[in-house]
């Protein structure tokens, strides 16, 4: 490490530092300090490193070739030391007494190498594959050997020849270099462990970048995520801390609540204050928990930035020495070269520490993102109903997209908040040293600017929190609801109304963003101008004698350039911190919201006796809300069937929720013994295959699985699916009919083999005969669940006699309970209801008695075996399911897909490849307009021109000769300098504001285009595109276009022009620098082109892998109750972890690649510094100190400028990918136009309501079989037509054809003689009405849900509510028509939602009404009332009813029986029954004949 085998002391004339021509370090220094520095480093830190290795065991690594090579080289190095020791001991013993140090140094050196070898072995045993610790040791050793190496070379040149000594030293030095080289490689992975960690080093990154340049990167090219970065590792440790913190908060709240006197109530203001305090404290607790987990690693990065700052402030001091050298004519040249080299080395060290800091910050940011996403996801699985209603799915998506991003930014810029003021203070201190008291003026300027920016930051924070984020949340929430209810929007032609609502939110959001950006521009302009003002005031306050020389000007300029960084970073850091505080508050509020209490239900193992007991239970949906169930006492014996009946809104579903622990238990006790399976009223279907939906995470048991399919009547459905049970089902079962969804949901529960089954009206959505089959085969006394405990909510009176216990609910109370016969014998409310309904049914079904008489007269047998006949009909296959043909998006290539892809439905969010196309930039700039862009570029050029002019003016001023202790015309020079600086400040403000406004213009257009493109897409698009993909576009991608693209453009333009200024100045000073600058420019462009291709593809892969996270979040939040009931939380958490980890595998290489590029390019920039300094030294005789100071001080900025150009260029290119992704949907297929210009359609059309099908055919996708085949049909004015048929017969396809949800494959449909293809979609859909099967409501007022266009008066709305039997319910609501419906209408029961849909139809009152199984979710009494309303209110209308309950259409004019896309029968109900055809068999199965 030091000079080996030194020459005989005193015999060689070693040159010393004082030598003017050939300076050198003394031999003593070389043999002591340079030997001991690396040794001290290793011995001091080795104990701590060994302790670290002891605490982190990754498994043993086998002895590899790499490790063997390190050991062999190490022993060679150690042997050199011992050989030298014995040589000195034997040959130079007479000199040892005077110079004992020469004997000690080789021993110390050898012992240190042996310690390094021991550490290598310890690393191997503990599974450490690469060592930064030893890498730094070998770097120190090599650096310390450079001085003796130079001395040896000098001696050789002076012809002092000691061949053996030279060979020994050069061998030693070569082995050290070899050890350093070997340290750059990672060893093999530990035994028995997979490669969880790819060692991130320069070589591995080079390989990735080169691969990305040659061909677009794919998922398999990415590194596996390191174990410490995985979700499981991060969240498992963090969850415990967070749970403990939440428990403390709840304890404090309970203590506070108990402090308030019983019966008293806090004033509203005090309650609001407590709520705000809770939000703030929850945010603080979250950051504290995250800091405890990630703080220590983050502090290592902080240490790096402190070292970076030390090197940064050392550079101006070296510049001062260099300029002093330029002024001193007698100074030797070696000093100039030494200062130039020192500046280069300091710049390189500054770069290394800066990028290590950035790497640490981004790693911590990534882990924070993983942690927060994990906590939010886990919270969504335990949050209670009251809290869930205050936070929509859209808001939760915002938490994991926008808010996690804000926290990541905060991690990167947090240190600037406290470090920037320190840097500013140090700059001002050094300026004081150079300029004396005149620096006070500059200090005053900086102090004055801080309050201004503090005020701006506060205003921006307020704008962002209270306005921008609020409207963004509202927009995302509304978009989520639009995507969930898109079918309803299309049926009702409401797209324009909701388009205007979304754009309303968007305009308010952009208005807040515009104000925020203008304030930010003022902040940037003030900070940029402050550096000029500081400089100007320095020069103004200089007295006449204190002349301005090059040293003062350019050292102060270098310090002011350093000052610019913290001054520009500080407003951004404060802004980022304020945004992070807001995000922390939002996240803390959600994460601290109330959870479902574990003690809501007592779980117990299965035992004989009662399986389910509720004792004196009172339940509510929220802690403060009114009880939804009161005085509930239920005892359910094991293996019994319990039926729960009651009117709409009586609390039937709430009772099941109470049994599941989903409601707040106010009092009483709930005990459930054994495992639970739950079938919700609205089936929750995953975006997965049919098999995955049924097995639901369990292993497939083939025999049992087939049995489940059979009893749940799913076998016929599987026959018509493209890939059977391997067919993918769309989100929320979009491509299944209501009955199919419910049967898949039921099959999931049956397959589970649970002990207790909670069935929330699973038979309402299926055909009557299928319902009877399911009851007999599954739920009833002879079904597969006969030995299980079953709680069945039902509206089917025919099932009640077979129930062991019936619970009658009225307004949240069990008024009666007992068996069917017991309740009838009591003559209570239940008996009255049964008799009343029977009478009503008899009155309304007189036609059925006539039918029965006809049957008897015709001698038709009245008994028919259901098993032998019914199921044979049931199992007849059908290739025209309601929506099932829409399994694939329309494209020519996919028509020839391989069989295993047949059942694929959803289109995976795919990443494009290669560089971003030029068209994307053109599209972005085209939306802004060329008329705005050209002036902006000129403004930037003007701004930088002013900067160049006033810097050059300063260099001329500094070179002015001093006459009689002063310089001439200082006032004029100062005036010109001031004018140029002022002009630059105005230009900076103008450019930043202009680009911000341009960004808003572009963002507005792009968002509007995206919104219109999505709303104009056909239903097939929504069925094949996961909502997560679309929400990703509307949330993350639009946010990037709003903020990131304009920010990147601002930075890129300003730094590109700044770089041009620097190059011009360096070339002006030393034209010969062009020889160096040009190759460096080509190298820069070469490296940049490699990087951008890789970075862009990584950005795409990261964006694509983000969509599944949102889709999974969305799906989980909506199915949380089912997931909890089945106890599948851990499996869903594991799936979420996988999705987040996969997203991070794309993100991690992207930010590491950015560091790789920045390090490479900063070394290029440091090369410019070295070139400028060396050339200045070489041209000392011809160059003035002023021009040298100007060139060198500006070249010092190149490193930072290049770094920021890379960053901003990459940001722009990466975020233009957002424009590309938003623009993708412009190219997808669209529906026909909403309205046609020059349409001659009468306002009152249709006046009669006649419908004519002429050889009509319909298909769900090109290349597939027709779903409707050759339908020819005339429906007359005021005719009532029932449409029946097996599942998938084509019933709903008729409705889809009438509304042009699907376009005709052949034939035509005429309404009132008008071909519906000749009119706009909205003209058609707004003139006819449908009451759909799935009742969808949107968050907003009840009135908005009925009349989004405000077309009708309040009287008309109340009238429609009265006819829909909702007037009493709405009248009792506090806000009446302004009652706020929650997302999806969750604060109304399913039956009430169905009645709201009926009220919509009554309000529109068009001549054609289509009912698509519209009364499936209501009880029989309400159904009877609805049917009565339809008969009276739509008496003069044409009514088409797709029916499950056949009794509802028995008095219709005609019944159409659909089969396999054909009309198999069509006549009056009585005539069809006499024909003994398919309709007769269906009536027989439903028990109507």
The confidence band for 1074, taking pLDDT boundaries of 50, 70 and 90, is: confident
pLDDT: is 1330 or 854 the higher one?
1330
CB 679 within 8 A of CB 745: yes
Mean pLDDT score of the chain, rounded to an integer? 76
- CA nearest to 1283, candidates 1336, 1316, 1330: 1330
| Residue 1117 scores a pLDDT above 70 | yes
Token duo for residue 106: 């080789």
Query: Residues near 1226 by Cβ (< 8 Å), separated by ≥ 6?
Result: 1009, 1013
What pLDDT shows up at residue 160? 52
The CA distance from 388 to 451, in Å, is: 41
| Residue 236 scores a pLDDT above 70 | yes
What pLDDT shows up at residue 881? 35
The confidence band for 873, taking pLDDT boundaries of 50, 70 and 90, is: very low
Q: How far is CA 880 from the centre of its chain?
A: 38
The CA distance from 554 to 1196, in Å, is: 11
pLDDT digits (tens, 9 = 90+) for 1295-1320: 888 888 888 888 888 888 888 888 88
**pLDDT winner (highest mean) among 730-734, 912-916, 988-992, 1132-1136:** 1132-1136
Q: What is the mean pLDDT of residues 610-628?
A: 82
What pLDDT shows up at residue 21? 55
User: What is the percent of the chain where pLDDT is above 90?
Assistant: 0
What pLDDT shows up at residue 869? 30
What pLDDT shows up at residue 781? 86
- Helix H or strand E encompassing 581: helix 550-591
Give me the torsion for CA of 1144, 1145, 1150, 1152, rounded to 10°: 100
Q: What is the mean pLDDT of residues 216-223?
A: 74
CB 535 within 8 A of CB 1168: no
User: What is the percent of the chain where pLDDT is above 70?
Assistant: 79
Give exposure, 1140-1170, as e/b (b: 16+ Cβ within 10 Å).
bbbbbbbbbbbbbbbbbbbbbbbbbbbbbbb
Q: What is the mean pLDDT of residues 1171-1195?
A: 73
Q: What is the mean pLDDT of residues 623-627?
A: 78
Peptide linkage before 1392 cis (omega within 30 of 0): no
| Residue 9 scores a pLDDT above 50 | no
**Listed range (374-383, 962-971, 1257-1266, 1314-1323) with the worst mean pLDDT:** 962-971
What pLDDT shows up at residue 197? 39
The confidence band for 171, taking pLDDT boundaries of 50, 70 and 90, is: confident
pLDDT digits (tens, 9 = 90+) for 631-656: 888 888 888 888 988 877 788 888 88
| Residue 917 scores a pLDDT above 70 | no
Which residue do the tokens 């210009």 mark?
1237
**Listed range (137-141, 816-820, 1156-1160, 1307-1311) with the worst mean pLDDT:** 1156-1160
What pLDDT shows up at residue 443? 67
pLDDT: is 939 or 561 the higher one?
939
pLDDT: is 949 or 583 the higher one?
583
Query: Residues near 220 by Cβ (< 8 Å), separated by ≥ 6?
Result: none
pLDDT digits (tens, 9 = 90+) for 56-111: 777 778 778 888 888 888 888 888 777 776 666 665 555 555 556 666 777 788 88
**Listed range (156-165, 385-394, 661-670, 993-1002) with the worst mean pLDDT:** 156-165
Burial tier of 241 (Cβ tally within 10 Å: 0-12, 13-18, 19+): middle
The confidence band for 922, taking pLDDT boundaries of 50, 70 and 90, is: confident
CB 650 within 8 A of CB 812: yes
pLDDT: is 56 or 1052 the higher one?
1052
Other Cβ atoms within 10 Å of 432 Cβ, number: 15
The CA distance from 668 to 653, in Å, is: 19
pLDDT: is 1423 or 1030 the higher one?
1030
What pLDDT shows up at residue 534? 63
CB 457 within 8 A of CB 575: yes
Full-model pTM: 0.67
Residue 1019: DSSP 8-state: H
The confidence band for 162, taking pLDDT boundaries of 50, 70 and 90, is: low
The confidence band for 927, taking pLDDT boundaries of 50, 70 and 90, is: confident
Q: What is the mean pLDDT of residues 318-340?
A: 79
What pLDDT shows up at residue 531? 61
Q: What is the mean pLDDT of residues 475-499?
A: 84
Give me the torsion for CA of 758, 764, 767, 770, rounded to 10°: 20
Q: What is the mean pLDDT of residues 380-389?
A: 81
The confidence band for 860, taking pLDDT boundaries of 50, 70 and 90, is: very low
CA distances from 159 to 12, 148, 998 (A): 12, 16, 70
CA distances from 446 to 425, 533, 534 (A): 10, 9, 8
1241: region left, alpha or beta (phi > 0 left; psi from -120 to 50 alpha): beta
**Listed range (59-73, 92-106, 669-683, 1058-1072) with the worst mean pLDDT:** 92-106
Q: What is the mean pLDDT of residues 1321-1325?
A: 85
What pLDDT shows up at residue 1167? 76
Query: Residues near 1130 by Cβ (< 8 Å), separated by ≥ 6?
Result: none
pLDDT digits (tens, 9 = 90+) for 837-853: 555 444 434 334 343 43
- Helix H or strand E encompassing 627: strand 627-637
């Amino acid at each position: 490490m030091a000079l080996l085998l030194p020459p005989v002391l005193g015999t060689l004339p070693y040159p010393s530092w004082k030598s003017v021509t050939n300076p050198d370090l003394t031999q003593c220094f070389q043999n002591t300090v340079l030997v001991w520095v690396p040794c001290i480093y290793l011995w001091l830190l080795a104990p701590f490193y060994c302790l670290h290795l002891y605490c982190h065991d990754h498994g043993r690594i086998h002895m590899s070739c790499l490790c063997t090579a390190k050991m062999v080289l190490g022993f060679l190095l150690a042997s050199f030391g011992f050989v030298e020791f014995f040589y000195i001991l034997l040959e130079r013993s007479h000199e040892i007494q005077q110079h004992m140090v020469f004997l000690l140094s080789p021993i110390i050196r050898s012992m240190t190498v042996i310690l390094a070898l021991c550490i290598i072995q310890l690393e191997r045993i503990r599974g450490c594959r690469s060592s930064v610790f030893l890498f730094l040791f070998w770097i120190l050793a090599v650096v310390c050997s450079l001085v003796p190496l130079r001395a040896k070379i000098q001696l050789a040149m002076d012809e002092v020849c000691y061949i053996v000594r030279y060979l020994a030293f050069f061998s030693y030095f070569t082995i050290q270099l070899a050890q350093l080289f070997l340290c750059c490689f990672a060893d093999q992975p530990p035994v028995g462990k997979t490669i969880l960690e790819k060692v991130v080093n320069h070589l591995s990154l080079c390989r990735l970048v080169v691969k990305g340049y040659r061909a677009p990167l794919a998922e398999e090219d990415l590194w596996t995520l390191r174990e410490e970065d995985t979700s499981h590792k991060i969240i498992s440790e963090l969850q415990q801390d967070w749970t403990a913190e939440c428990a403390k908060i709840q304890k404090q709240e309970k203590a506070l609540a108990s402090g308030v006197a019983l019966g008293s109530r806090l004033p509203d203001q005090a309650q609001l204050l407590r709520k705000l305090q809770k939000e703030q404290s929850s945010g603080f607790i979250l950051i504290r928990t995250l800091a405890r987990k990630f703080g220590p690693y983050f502090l290592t990065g902080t240490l790096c930035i402190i070292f970076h700052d030390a090197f940064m402030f050392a550079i101006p001091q070296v510049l001062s020495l260099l300029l002093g050298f330029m002024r001193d004519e007698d100074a030797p040249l070696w000093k100039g070269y030494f200062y130039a080299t020192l500046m280069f080395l300091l710049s390189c060290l500054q770069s290394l520490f800066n990028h290590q800091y950035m790497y640490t910050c981004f790693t911590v940011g990534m882990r924070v993102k993983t942690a927060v996403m994990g906590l939010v996801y886990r919270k969504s699985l335990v949050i209670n109903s009251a809290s869930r209603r205050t936070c929509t799915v859209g808001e939760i998506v915002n938490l994991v997209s926008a808010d996690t991003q804000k926290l990541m930014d905060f991690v990167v810029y947090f240190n600037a908040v406290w470090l920037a003021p320190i840097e500013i203070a140090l700059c001002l201190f050094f300026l004081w040293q150079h300029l004396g008291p005149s620096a006070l003026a500059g200090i005053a300027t900086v102090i004055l600017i801080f309050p201004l920016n503090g005020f701006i930051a506060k205003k921006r924070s307020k704008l962002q929190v209270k306005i921008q984020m609020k409207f963004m949340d509202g927009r995302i929430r509304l978009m989520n609801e639009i995507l969930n209810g898109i079918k309803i929007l299309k049926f009702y032609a409401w797209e324009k109304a909701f388009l205007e609502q979304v754009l309303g939110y968007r305009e308010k959001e952009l208005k807040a963003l515009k104000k925020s950006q203008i304030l930010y521009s003022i902040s940037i302009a003030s900070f940029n101008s402050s550096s000029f003002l500081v400089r100007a005031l320095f020069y103004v306050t200089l007295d006449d004698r204190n002349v301005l020389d090059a040293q003062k000007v350019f050292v102060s300029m270098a310090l002011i350039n350093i000052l610019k960084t913290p001054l520009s970073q500080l407003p951004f850091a404060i802004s980022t911190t304020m945004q992070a505080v807001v995000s922390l508050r939002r996240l803390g509020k959600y994460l601290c919201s109330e959870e479902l209490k574990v003690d809501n239900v007592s779980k117990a193992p299965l035992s004989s006796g009662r399986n389910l007991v509720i004792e004196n239970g009172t339940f509510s949906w929220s802690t403060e809300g009114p009880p939804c169930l009161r005085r509930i006492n239920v005892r359910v014996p094991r293996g019994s069937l319990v039926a729960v009946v009651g009117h709409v809104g009586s609390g039937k579903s709430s009772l099941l929720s109470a049994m599941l622990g989903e409601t707040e238990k106010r009092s009483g006790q709930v005990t459930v013994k054994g495992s639970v399976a739950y079938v919700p009223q609205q089936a929750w279907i995953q975006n997965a295959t049919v098999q995955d939906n049924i097995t639901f995470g369990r292993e497939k048991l083939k025999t049992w699985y087939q049995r489940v399919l059979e009893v749940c009547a799913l076998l016929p459905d599987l026959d018509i699916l493209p890939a059977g049970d391997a067919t993918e089902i769309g989100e929320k079962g979009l491509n299944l009919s209501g009955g199919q969804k419910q049967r898949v949901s039921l099959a999931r529960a049956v397959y589970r083999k649970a002990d207790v089954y909670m069935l929330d009206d699973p038979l309402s959505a299926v055909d009557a005969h299928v319902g009877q089959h399911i009851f007999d085969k599954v739920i009833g006394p002879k079904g597969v669940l006969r030995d299980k405990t079953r709680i069945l909510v039902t509206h089917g009176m025919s099932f009640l006699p077979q129930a062991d216990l019936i619970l009658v609910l009225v307004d949240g109370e069990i008024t009666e309970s007992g068996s069917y016969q017991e309740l009838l014998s009591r003559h209570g409310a239940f008996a009255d209801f049964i008799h009343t309904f029977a009478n009503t049914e008899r009155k309304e079904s007189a036609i059925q008695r006539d039918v029965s008489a006809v049957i008897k007269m015709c001698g038709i047998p009245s008994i028919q075996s259901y098993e032998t006949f019914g199921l044979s009909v049931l199992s007849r296959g059908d290739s025209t399911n309601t929506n099932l043909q829409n399994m694939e998006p329309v494209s020519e290539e996919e028509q020839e897909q391989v069989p295993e892809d047949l059942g694929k439905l959803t289109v995976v969010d795919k990443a494009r490849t290669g560089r971003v196309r030029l068209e994307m930039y053109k599209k972005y700039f085209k939306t802004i307009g060329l008329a705005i862009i050209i002036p902006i570029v000129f403004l930037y050029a003007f701004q930088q021109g002013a900067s160049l002019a006033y810097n050059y003016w300063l260099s001329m001023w500094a070179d002015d000769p001093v006459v009689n202790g002063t310089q001439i015309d200082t006032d004029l020079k100062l005036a010109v300098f001031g004018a140029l600086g002022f002009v630059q400040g105005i230009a900076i403000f103008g450019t930043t504001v202009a680009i911000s406004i341009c960004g808003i213009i572009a963002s507005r257009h792009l968002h509007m285009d995206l919104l219109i493109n999505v709303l104009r897409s056909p239903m097939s698009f929504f069925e094949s595109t996961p909502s997560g993909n679309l929400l990703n576009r509307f949330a993350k991608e639009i946010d990037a276009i709003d903020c990131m693209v304009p920010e990147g453009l601002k930075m890129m333009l300003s730094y590109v022009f700044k770089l041009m200024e620097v190059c011009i100045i360096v070339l002006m000073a030393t034209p010969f620098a062009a020889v160096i600058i040009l190759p460096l420019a080509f190298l820069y462009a070469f490296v940049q082109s490699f990087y951008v291709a890789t970075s862009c593809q990584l950005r795409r892969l990261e964006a694509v892998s983000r969509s599944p996270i949102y889709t999974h979040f969305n799906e989980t939040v909506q199915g949380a109750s089912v997931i909890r009931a089945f106890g599948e939380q851990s499996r869903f958490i594991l799936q979420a972890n996988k999705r987040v980890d996969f997203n991070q595998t794309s993100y991690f290489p992207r930010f590491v690649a950015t560091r790789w590029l920045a390090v490479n390019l900063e070394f290029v920039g440091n090369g410019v510094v070295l070139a400028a300094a060396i050339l200045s030294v070489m041209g000392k005789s011809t160059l003035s100190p002023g021009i040298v100071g100007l060139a060198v001080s500006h070249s010092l900025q190149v490193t930072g400028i290049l770094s920021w150009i890379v960053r901003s260029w990459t940001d722009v290119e990466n975020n233009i990918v957002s424009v590309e992704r938003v623009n993708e949907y412009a190219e997808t297929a669209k529906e026909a136009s909403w309205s046609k210009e020059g349409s001659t359609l009468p306002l009152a059309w249709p006046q009669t309501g006649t419908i004519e099908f002429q050889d009509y055919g319909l298909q769900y996708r090109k290349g597939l079989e027709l779903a409707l085949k050759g339908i020819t049909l005339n429906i007359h004015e005021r005719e009532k037509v029932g449409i029946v048929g097996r599942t998938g017969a084509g019933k709903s396809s008729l409705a889809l054809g009438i509304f042009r949800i699907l376009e005709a494959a052949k034939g035509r449909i005429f309404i009132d003689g008008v071909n519906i293809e000749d009119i706009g979609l909205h003209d058609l859909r707004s003139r006819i009405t449908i009451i759909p099967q799935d009742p969808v409501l949107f968050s907003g007022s009840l009135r908005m849900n009925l009349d989004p266009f405000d077309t009708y008066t309040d009287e008309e709305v109340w009238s429609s509510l009265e006819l829909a039997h909702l007037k009493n319910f709405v009248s009792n609501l506090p806000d009446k028509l302004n009652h706020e419906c929650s997302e999806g209408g969750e604060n109304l029961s399913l039956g009430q939602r169905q009645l709201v849909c009926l009220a919509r139809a009554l309000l529109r009152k068009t001549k054609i009404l289509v009912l698509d199984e519209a009364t499936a979710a209501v009880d029989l009494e309400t159904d009877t009332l609805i049917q009565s309303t339809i008969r009276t209110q739509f008496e003069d209308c044409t009514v088409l009813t797709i029916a499950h309950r056949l009794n509802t259409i028995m008095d219709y004019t005609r019944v159409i029986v659909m089969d396999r896309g054909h009309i198999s029968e069509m006549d009056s109900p009585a005539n069809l029954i006499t024909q003994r055809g398919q309709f007769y068999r269906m009536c027989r199965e439903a028990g109507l004949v």
